[in-house]
Amino acid sequence: LDSDEGFRTPFKGAMSAPISNNNIKLVIDLHGAGSSWPWDLDLGTGNGCSGGNQEDCSLVTDYGMTLPNKVIDIMNHWGIPDVNWPAVEFSGMVSDTVIHYVSQTLGVDALQFEIHRDWRQCANSADSLDQERSVKMIKALTEIIRDVNQYYAPQDDEIPGPMIGDCSGDGVLNVS
């Protein structure tokens, strides 16, 4: 949808209204990484500055830890051990990325997840380990979304569950 080729693309422009109209506080930009990378998840935070508050590059939450540390804890809980943060390859803060646009232009916190291919294989894979990894990734992403919603959502609002894709056709986990 978004090639990251240009700061003002139709995709980025189309994000503005739903983010502001729905009081969205965090955008998680999901990407798939190839099988040659040495990590399970590369966590892009724009070198720590993808928080919407441009004066504070810490992404500190009321949990008493940074948002990236919370993500790492949850990933580790689900058996996803190798989270690369701070991300070097995919920091997410070059000017063309979604998280740069969202955090720096819209003032909304943002994270970029580069998910290794081994954690996105599923139904069409003959390897049951691939399917098990995909389920763990789905559960980790679900927990992250629910946990982060607890932090960002007002206490009296009902917190919606995440919308997560499926393992359709091509055998690769599609998350939306």
DSSP labels for the chain? ---S-SSS-HHHHHHHHHHHHTT--EEEEEEEE-TT-SSSEEEE-TTTT-SS-TT--S-B-TTSSBHHHHHHHHHHHTT---EE-S-STT-S-STTSHHHHHHHTS--EEEEEEEEGGGSB-TT-S-HHHHHHHHHHHHHHHHHHHHHHHHHS-TTSPPPPP----EETTTEE---
Give per-residue pLDDT as tens, 69-82: 889 999 999 999 99
Poorest-pLDDT segment among 5-9, 76-80, 106-110: 5-9
Query: Which of 9-18, 27-36, 70-79, 97-106 is most confident?
Result: 70-79
pLDDT reading at 95 higher than 70: no
